Amino acid sequence: MPIPHNAKKVFQGIIFDVYQWDQPMYDGSTQIFERIKRRPSADVIATVGDSIVVLSQEQPTKPLFPSLPGGGIELGEDPKTAAMRELLEETGYQAESIELYSEENGGGHKIEYINSIFIAKNCTKIAEQHLDAGEKITVGFCSFEEFLQLARNPKFTTARNLIIDMYEALLDETKKENLRKKIFG
Amino acid sequence: MPIPHNAKKVFQGIIFDVYQWDQPMYDGSTQIFERIKRRPSADVIATVGDSIVVLSQEQPTKPLFPSLPGGGIELGEDPKTAAMRELLEETGYQAESIELYSEENGGGHKIEYINSIFIAKNCTKIAEQHLDAGEKITVGFCSFEEFLQLARNPKFTTARNLIIDMYEALLDETKKENLRKKIFG
């Protein structure tokens, strides 16, 4: 359920805003309810031949972890533009075509945090990496089977629904083939 | 990585506090980093004979969903006490013994949100449900196999690490038997 229209923004931060409102309870009383809105992000499943791009990434408060290309969506930027920008900045790669895989709330019940996942097909290198002051990134490649196993690595950082889809593909051959077709088909 | 000691609490909410600090970047510059601290919660895997207690729950902003007994830890309350209290309030059941299963950050990198999971063994009904004004709860029971399948229900609400452990048990017989022993052994 989205944050209701009558909610007040009681704090505006850099990536987190806090909202509160009076919520009617089942017994007729009201309680102040509180929710977070987090700056949305986009991740990219980028293919090069029959491989998928996987980053080894390090950030000032986060030791080495595998991830997909991606990052925060800027204010006023649409998710697809953010996905293409992050892919180019973090890897130097550009896609032949890019399409939405999913757009879901990854924050759970009390946190509104929209994660968009894009599939970027047939990528080629057109530039050098161009990293932020808070990024150290090594670009790597893995097979589809290795990609699915990444879900089982507790350090792998991506949208929650994608991790679940990867586990489901590991449990169910039909789902696996559907995911393979979506990414490479 | 926990919120650093020099971080300032810039907003104090009901369940969410916001912290900020100056974070040195790799190029020597600094940026304001922001993190959320969320009120911690406890969930309970409660056994009755060879069944596990599963709730059908409804909240004012959240339609029907399955969950374990559990909820927010009160200020100053220890997680085990909270787990026993929530089990009693939501189900009327009390455990013969209760032990910690896991205590992990369920909020990801930028949100500190400690989820404690307890295993409450050989529960018996000693009281009637005693629900908050914001809860509608029906108590149900499921087998261990049905419990594992709950991980695959997108509406099932519990700590992220437990969902991953349940998926791992579905993928790996040894992990499944270890989880079964932890819960029932």
Q: Give the per-residue pLDDT at B57.
A: 95
Task: Tell the residue number behind the tokens 């505006």, with chain if given.
Answer: A12
In this prediction the ipTM stands at: 0.94
Distance, CA of A167 to chain centre: 16
DSSP state letter for A10: E
Whether B13 and A13 lie within 8 Å, measured CB to CB:
no
Write phi, then psi, for A60 (nearest 5 degrees): -55, -30
Interface test with A, best of B115, B167, B171 (most A CBs within 10 A): B167
User: What is the tens place of the pLDDT at every residue in A63-118?
Assistant: 999 999 999 999 999 999 999 999 999 999 999 999 999 999 999 889 999 999 99
**Spatial contact of B46 and B122, defined as CB atoms under 8 Å apart:** no
Q: Is the per-residue pLDDT at B109 higher than 90? A: no
**What average pLDDT does chain A have?**
96
pLDDT band at residue B1 under the 50/70/90 scheme:
confident
> Rounded mean pLDDT of B111-128?
97
Distance between CA atoms of residues A157 and A67, nearest Å:
5
**Spatial contact of A115 and A45, defined as CB atoms under 8 Å apart:** no
User: What is the tens place of the pLDDT at every residue in B27-45?
Assistant: 999 999 999 999 999 999 9
Whether B25 and A133 lie within 8 Å, measured CB to CB:
yes
Report the predicted TM-score, pTM, of the whole model to 2 decimal places: 0.95
Distance between CA atoms of residues A23 and A32, nearest Å:
6
Quickly list DSSP for B133-177: TT-EEEEEEE-HHHHHHHTT-TT-BS-HHHHHHHHHHHH-HHHHH
> Rounded mean pLDDT of B156-175?
97
Q: Is the per-residue pLDDT at A6 higher than 90? A: yes
Task: Tell the residue number behind the tokens 């309810």, with chain if given.
Answer: A33
**What average pLDDT does chain B have?**
96
% of chain A beyond a pLDDT of 70: 100
User: What is the tens place of the pLDDT at every residue in B68-98?
Assistant: 999 999 999 999 999 999 999 999 999 999 9
Q: Give the per-residue pLDDT at B98.
A: 97
Looking at beta carbons, which residues of chain B come within 8 Å of A154? 164
Quickly list DSSP for A168-184: HHHH-HHHHHHHHHHHH
pLDDT band at residue A1 under the 50/70/90 scheme:
confident
Q: Which of A16, A23, A27 sits opposite B34 (nearest CB)?
A: A16
Whether A11 and B34 lie within 8 Å, measured CB to CB:
no
Q: How large is the greatest C-alpha to C-alpha distance in chain A, in angstroms?
A: 62
